[in-house]
Structure 1
C-alpha cells in the first residue's frame, strides 16, 4: 500500500506542480499589482470589521476557523519534514511560497465569495461552488466535492491525529490509541454542535494557542540570540547551493519548501476557501484580503519560529530521498518530534510537555476545521440530490472520528504519504480552476479599489461588472432587469 501511494505521489507531486504554485502565485502578484503588499493595511482593518449573522460568521471568525486549519501540524511537523528532506534551504522556499501564495489565496477566496450560496439557512462556498457557477461544469464540481470530502474526512485528519499521538506519547508515555480515543471523544462533542459552535471554539482557541506558542519560541530564540545571524546565513546559502554541507540539495529544497509551505498555509489548494464562504461581508474582495493576511500569519510568523528553534538547537537530521544521509544524529526519530526535541534541549521537562499540549490544541482546532470543510462539500452534494435526511452528516462525523483513531496508531510515513496524495490531487483541480476564473476575481478586486477611492464602503453588484452566476449577490443587491440589459449592451458595444 505504501509503495503504491509513494508511486502515485511521484506523479502528482512532480516538479510541474511545484512550479505551478510558484508560477501562478507570481502571475497573480503581477496581475493584482502585488495586492498582498499594496493593500496590507486593508487586510488588517478588515479582519476586525463587520459582524456575524444568522446565516454567516464574522470575518474574524472565518479567519480564526481558517487559521485553526493552517496553524497545526504544518507549522511544526511540516517545517521539520521540510528540513529533514530538503535541508535548511527549504525554509527560504517556504517563505517564497507564502509571499506569492498570499495573492493566490486572495484570488481563490474572492471567487469563493463571488459564487457562494445559501443552503439550509447558512452561507456555503468553496471550490465546487465556483466550478459549478463560474465554469458551469457541474460534473467537475461534483468530482471536486467528492475528492475534497475524502481528503478532509479521512486523509488529513489521520495526519493530525498521528502527529498528536507521537508527541503525547513522547512527552507523557500515553499510548497512541488512548490519545486517539480522547481526540475522538472531544471532537464529537463539538462537531455535533454545528458550524456556529465550531466558529466559536476556533475564535477562542486559535489566538490563545498561537500566542502561547510564539511566546515560548521567543524565549528560546532570546536565549540563543547570537546564533540567529548564522541560522539566517545557513538558510539562504542552503537555498541556493552555496553551502558545502548541503550542496546539490537546491532542487529538494524548492520541492519540499513549496510542498510543506502549501500544506501549512493552504494557498492554492482550495482547502481554505470553505471557511471564507461562510463570512458575512458586503464585498467578496474584503474576505479575499482577510484570508491573504492569514497566509502571512501562518508561514511568515509561526513557521519561521519553529524553523529557527530547530536549526539553532541543531535538533534535526537531513536525509534526502534517494541519497545518503547528510546529517544523521537522531537515529530513527520521526521529523514530527524535531520541534519537541529542540524545546527539550533548551527547556528540559517544560519544553517537551508544553509542545505536546500546544500541539494537541493546534491539531484539535485543525480537525474542527476539516469537519467544516467536509460538511460544506457534503452540503454541496446533497443539495443537488435534494436529500433531506441527516444520515450523510452522521456518516461524515463517524468517518472523521474513525480517521482520528486510525491515524493515531498508524505509521507516520504511511499517513503523511496518503495526506500528500490527497493534497496534490486537490491542488491540480483548484489551480486549474482558479486560472480559468482569473477574470471575475480581478474584476472584483478592481471594483473594490474603485469604490474605496470614491470614499465608499464597497458593496458587490456583479451584474454591473459583467460577472454571471453570482446568484447570491444578484439577489442581495438586486439590479432591475432592464438595467442589466442596458449594461450588457454597453459592454457589447465597447
Structure 2
C-alpha cells in the first residue's frame, strides 16, 4: 500500500501542482491589489468582529477553528520533513507560499461565506457548497467529488500523521507506548466531539492562541541564545533555496517542491479546508471572514513554522538527505526527522525542558487539528446526505472512524503516515484549485465590493445582486433587513437566528439561479 500511495503522491504533487499553486496565488495577489499587505490592518481587525448566534460562531472562533486545523504537526514535524528532503531552502519556499497563498485563503473563505447554508440550525459551507452554487448543477459531480474526498481525508488519512507525531514526541520525552497514547487520544477526542459545533468553537478558541504564543516565545528564546548563528543561518536559507551553496547543488527543485508541499499541508491554502470553518462565522460581508482567514496563513507559516525552522537551524539540530539518498548534512545521526529535532533544539538551551515542551505542544497542535478535521467531515457529510436520520448515523460513524484512524496511525512509521496524509490532501486540493480558477471572477468582485464600501466610509454589508450573484439566499435576507433597519449587526444576527434551514444541496436551475 505504501508503494502505491507514494507513487500516487509523486503524480499529484509533481511540478504542475507547484506551478498552479504559485500561479493562482500570484493571480489573486495582482487582481485583488496585494490584499496580504494592503489590508493587513483589516485582517487583524476582523478577528474581534462578528458575534455568536444560535446558527453561527464568532469571527474569531471561526478563525481559531481554521487555525486549529492549520497549526498541527506540519508546523513541527512537517518543517523537519521538508528540510530533510529539500534542505534549509525549503523554509524560504514555505514563506513564498504563505505570502502568495494569503489571497487564495481570502478568496476561498469569502466564497464559502457567500454560498453558506443553514443546515440543522447551524451555518455550513465550503468548496462543495460553492462549487454547486457558483458553477451550477452541471458541476455537481465536482462538488460531490470534493465532499467525498474531504470526508475520506479527514476521517481516514489525515488523522494518522497527527497521532503518529504525538506518539513520536511522547515516546522521545517520556517513553510512553504508542498504542496506549493513540487509544487515550481517541477516547478524549470522542468525549469532546459529541458536544457539537459551539463547544468545538469554544475549545479551539481557548487552546489555539495560547499554544501558539507559548511555542513562539520559547522559540524566540532559543534563537536569542544562539544569536551569533543567526546571520549565517539566514544566509544558508537563501543560498540553499536557489542552490547557490555548493553543498546543496542540484537541490533547488526539491527545496521548492517540498517547501510548497509542506506549506500547503500546514496552511491548507488552496485546499478549501479553512473555508469550511469560515462559513460558520457571523459577519456582514463575506470578505471580512476571508481577511481573517488570510491572516491565519501568516500566523501558521510566517510565525509558527518559521520559529520551528529557526530553532532547528540555529542549533544545528537537523539532517539533510541528498537526491541520491545519501546524507549531505548529518548533525543528528540516527535521529528521524520530526519532533525530535525541535526537542533537541530546545533542550540545547533549556536542558530537560525541550522534550516535554514539544510533546505537549505537538499534542495540543495535533488535537485541535483533529477537532477541526471532525468539523470538516461533518460539514461535507451534511452536503452529501439530505436525510437527517441518515446524516446523524453517518456523523457518528465518521467520529468513530476518525478515532480509529488515530489509533492506527499511532503505531505506524512516520514515512507511511506522511504518505497517507499527503495522499488525502492531494485528492481534494486538486478539486478545489479547479473550482477556485473557475470562480475567481466572483471572488475578485467580492473583494472589489468590500473595497468600494470601505472607500465610501461604510461598514461593508453585502448586497449579492450588486456583484451579479442571485442565489446567495442568506445574504439577500441580511441585506434586506439591513435596508429596513440600517443596523448591519442587527441584520446579520436577525437573519442568522430566524432563517429557516435550507436544503443541504440547493436545486440549481440551468441559468445558475438557485431555488430552495
The residue that corresponds to 1:92 in the other structure is: 92
Contact 1:134 1:468 survives alignment (8 Å): no
The residue that corresponds to 1:9 in the other structure is: 9
Quick one: which of 142, 155, 158 aligns to 1:156? 158
Asked if residue 445 in structure 1 is aligned to residue 447 in structure 2, the reply is: yes
Contact 1:102 1:267 survives alignment (8 Å): yes
CA–CA distance in structure 2, aligned partners of residues 350 and 251 of structure 1: 36
CA–CA distance in structure 2, aligned partners of residues 248 and 469 of structure 1: 51
Asked if residue 477 in structure 1 is aligned to residue 479 in structure 2, the reply is: yes
The residue that corresponds to 1:489 in the other structure is: none
- Map 1:67-146; keep pairs closer than 5 Å: 67-136=67-136, 137-146=139-148
Once the two structures are superposed, residues 409-467 of structure 1 have per-residue CA deviations (whole angstroms, 9 ceiling, x without a partner) of: 11111111011111112111111101100111111111111111111111111112211
CA–CA distance in structure 1, aligned partners of residues 224 and 372 of structure 2: 33
CA–CA distance in structure 2, aligned partners of residues 457 and 37 of structure 1: 20
RMSD: 1.3
Asked if residue 229 in structure 1 is aligned to residue 231 in structure 2, the reply is: yes
- Map 1:17-416; keep pairs closer than 5 Å: 17-136=17-136, 137-336=139-338, 337-383=340-386, 385=387, 387-388=389-390, 390-416=392-418
Higher mean displacement: 274-283 or 324-333:
324-333
Quick one: which of 410, 417, 420 aligns to 2:422? 420
CA–CA distance in structure 1, aligned partners of residues 271 and 369 of structure 2: 16
SS of the aligned residue for 1:278 comes to coil
CA–CA distance in structure 1, aligned partners of residues 123 and 63 of structure 2: 15
Structure 1 unmatched ranges of 5 or more: 480-494
CA–CA distance in structure 1, aligned partners of residues 391 and 360 of structure 2: 38
Q: For residue 388 of structure 1, report the CA deviation from its aligned partner.
A: 5.0
Contact 2:381 2:391 survives alignment (8 Å): no
Q: For residue 469 of structure 1, report the CA deviation from its aligned partner.
A: 2.7
Quick one: which of 457, 481, 489 aligns to 2:459? 457
CA–CA distance in structure 2, aligned partners of residues 111 and 50 of structure 1: 17
SS of the aligned residue for 2:273 comes to coil
Q: For residue 334 of structure 1, report the CA deviation from its aligned partner.
A: 2.0
Change (3 A) 1:389 1:287: closer
CA–CA distance in structure 2, aligned partners of residues 240 and 91 of structure 1: 12
Once the two structures are superposed, residues 336-377 of structure 1 have per-residue CA deviations (whole angstroms, 9 ceiling, x without a partner) of: 121122222222211111111111111111111111111101
Higher mean displacement: 90-99 or 263-272:
263-272
CA–CA distance in structure 2, aligned partners of residues 17 and 242 of structure 1: 25
SS of the aligned residue for 1:390 comes to helix
CA–CA distance in structure 2, aligned partners of residues 417 and 52 of structure 1: 38
Once the two structures are superposed, residues 271-298 of structure 1 have per-residue CA deviations (whole angstroms, 9 ceiling, x without a partner) of: 1111001000010010010000110111
The residue that corresponds to 2:492 in the other structure is: none
- What is the number of residues matched between the two proteins? 478
Contact 2:251 2:323 survives alignment (8 Å): no
Q: For residue 472 of structure 1, report the CA deviation from its aligned partner.
A: 2.1
CA–CA distance in structure 2, aligned partners of residues 386 and 48 of structure 1: 34
SS of the aligned residue for 1:456 comes to coil
Q: For residue 329 of structure 1, report the CA deviation from its aligned partner.
A: 4.3
Structure 2 unmatched ranges of 5 or more: 482-516
CA–CA distance in structure 2, aligned partners of residues 91 and 267 of structure 1: 16
Q: For residue 144 of structure 1, report the CA deviation from its aligned partner.
A: 0.8
The residue that corresponds to 1:485 in the other structure is: none
The residue that corresponds to 1:468 in the other structure is: 470
SS of the aligned residue for 1:118 comes to strand
Contact 2:43 2:292 survives alignment (8 Å): yes
Higher mean displacement: 240-249 or 156-165:
240-249
CA–CA distance in structure 1, aligned partners of residues 408 and 140 of structure 2: 33
Q: If the length of structure 1 is used for normalisation, what is the TM-score?
A: 0.95
SS of the aligned residue for 1:315 comes to coil
CA–CA distance in structure 2, aligned partners of residues 469 and 152 of structure 1: 29
Once the two structures are superposed, residues 193-250 of structure 1 have per-residue CA deviations (whole angstroms, 9 ceiling, x without a partner) of: 0111110000111111111111111111111111111111000011111111111110
Contact 2:316 2:331 survives alignment (8 Å): no
Q: For residue 389 of structure 1, report the CA deviation from its aligned partner.
A: 5.5
Q: If the length of structure 2 is used for normalisation, what is the TM-score?
A: 0.91
